[in-house]
Amino acid sequence: MQSDADWKWLRNEIILSGDEAIAGSDGDRAVDTIISLVSGLPVTTVVIEEFYIDRDFSDEYRAFYGRLFRQYQRETRRLHFFADNLTVPLEGNYDHIASGLEESAARGRYLGFVVLRPIRDAPIARAVLSDTLVGPALPESTVQVRTTYTAHLLGASLPVRTVPFTQQDRHMSSCSQAAAWVCARHFHTRHAEPWFSMARIREAVDHDPDAVAVQSIPAGSEGLNVVGLQRVLRRMGRQPYFMSTTSPDGKKVGSDDLICALHRYVGSGIPVIAVIKTPNSGDAHAVVVVGMTHGKAPSKGGMKHATTAIFVDKFIVHDDQRGPFTVLPREGGTNGYDLRNVPFIIVPLPESVVVRAEAAELKAFQALEDLAKGWHEVCDASAPLLGTAPENGEPFFAALAAGRVLARTYLTSGWKYQARLARNIAHPNLKYRILTQSLPKLIWVTEFGIVDNLEKPDPTKRLIYAHCVVDAMSTGNQAPPIMIHVPGFLYTWVQGSDSFYPSHQLAKWMVADDRPYRPRARFLDRS
* 398-423 pLDDT per residue, tens: 999 999 999 999 999 999 999 999 99
pLDDT at position 18 is: 38
Residue among 160, 182, 178 at smallest CA distance from 168: 178
Mean pLDDT of the chain: 87
pLDDT given for residue 92 in this prediction: 60
DSSP result, 460-501: GG--BSEEEEEETT---TTPPPSEEEETTEEEEEEEPSSSSS
CA–CA separation, 71 vs 76, rounded Å?
14
Is it the case that residue 182 has pLDDT exceeding 80?
A: yes
Q: Which of these ranges, 15-19, 116-120, 138-142, has the smallest mean pLDDT?
A: 15-19
484: closest CA among 464, 502, 499, 503? 464
The mean per-residue pLDDT over the stretch 64-85 comes to: 88
Rounded to whole angstroms, the Cα distance separating 117 from 126 reads 9
Q: Quick one: 4-350 is in which CATH superfamily?
A: Cysteine proteinases (3.90.70.10)
Residues 6+ apart with CB under 8 A from 11: 18, 31, 32, 35
Q: How far apart are the first and last CA of the chain?
A: 33
pLDDT at 427 over 80: yes
Inter-residue contact 442 to 413 (CB < 8 Å): yes
Q: At what angle do helices 26-39 and 4-14 cross, to 10 degrees?
A: 140
Asked if residue 527 has pLDDT above 50, the reply is: no
Q: What mean pLDDT comes out for the span 410-437?
A: 95
- Confidence at residue 217, expressed as pLDDT on a 0 to 100 scale: 59
Q: Is the pLDDT of residue 216 over 70?
A: no
Report how far residue 52's alpha carbon sits from residue 75's, in angstroms, rounded to the nearest whole number. Answer: 6
Q: Are strands 45-52 and 76-82 parallel, antiparallel or unpaired?
A: antiparallel
> Over the range 472-482, which residues count as b (16 or more CB within 10 Å of their CB) and which as e?
beeeeeebbbb
Amino acid 212: pLDDT: 59
Cα 77 to Cα 483: distance, rounded to the nearest angstrom:
52
Domain spans of the chain, in order of start: 4-350, 357-524
Q: What is the DSSP string of 140-203?
A: TEEE-S-EEEEEEETTEEEEEEE--B----SSS--HHHHHHHHHHHHHHHHH-PPP--HHHHHH
Q: Please tell me the least confidently modeled range out of 160-169, 215-224, 238-247, 279-288.
A: 215-224
Q: Which residues of 149-169 are buried (b: 16+ CB within 10 A; e: fewer)?
A: bebebeebebebbbbbbbbbb
**Structure confidence at residue 215 as a pLDDT band (50, 70, 90):** low
User: Does position 524 have pLDDT exceeding 60, yes or no?
Assistant: no
- pLDDT at residue 354 is higher than 90: yes
Asked whether the predicted pLDDT for residue 91 surpasses 70, the reply is no
Q: 328 in helix, strand or coil? A: strand
DSSP helix/strand/coil, 338: coil
Q: What's the whole-number mean pLDDT along residues 145-152? A: 96
d(CA 131, CA 141): 10
pLDDT above 50: residue 23: no
Work out whether strand 314-319 and strand 285-293 pair parallel, antiparallel, or are unpaired: antiparallel
Q: Where are the beta strands (DSSP E) in 53-121?
A: 76-82, 110-116
How far is C-alpha 228 from the geometric centre of its chain's CA atoms? Answer: 23
Label residue 24 by pLDDT band (50, 70, 90). Answer: very low
- Counting DSSP H helices and E strands in the chain, the numbers are 16, 19
Please give the share of the chain, as a percent, with pLDDT higher than 70: 87
Q: Indicate the helix (H) or strand (E) that contains 449.
A: strand 442-450
Give the model's confidence band at 21: pLDDT under 50 very low, under 70 low, under 90 confident, else very high: very low
Please give the Cα distance from 390 to 379 (Å, whole number). 7
Instruction: Provide the CA 367 distance to its chain's centre, in angstroms.
Output: 28
Instruction: Please write the tens of the pLDDT for every residue from 485-507.
Output: 999 999 998 876 677 776 778 89
DSSP letter (8 states) at residue 307: B
Q: Is the pLDDT confidence value at 260 over 60?
A: yes
Strands (E), 58-116: 76-82, 110-116
Q: What's residue 228's pLDDT? A: 85
Sequence-separated (6 or more) residues with CB below 8 Å from residue 74: 53, 57, 58, 61, 66
Least confident of 160-174, 204-218, 322-336: 204-218
Long-range contacts of residues 497-500, Cβ cutoff 8 Å, at least 24 apart: none
Q: How far apart, in Å, are the Cα atoms of 184 and each of 39, 158, 188, 265, 508?
A: 29, 22, 6, 16, 42
Note the pTM of the prediction, 2 decimals: 0.91
CA–CA gap between residue 492 and residue 513 (Å, rounded): 19
514 contacts 392 by C-beta, under 8 angstroms: yes
pLDDT digits (tens, 9 = 90+) for 292-349: 998 888 877 778 899 999 999 999 999 999 999 999 999 888 888 999 999 999 999 9
**What average pLDDT does range 272-283 have in this prediction?**
85
pLDDT number for residue 403:
94
The predicted pLDDT at position 302 comes to: 78
CB 245 within 8 A of CB 254: yes
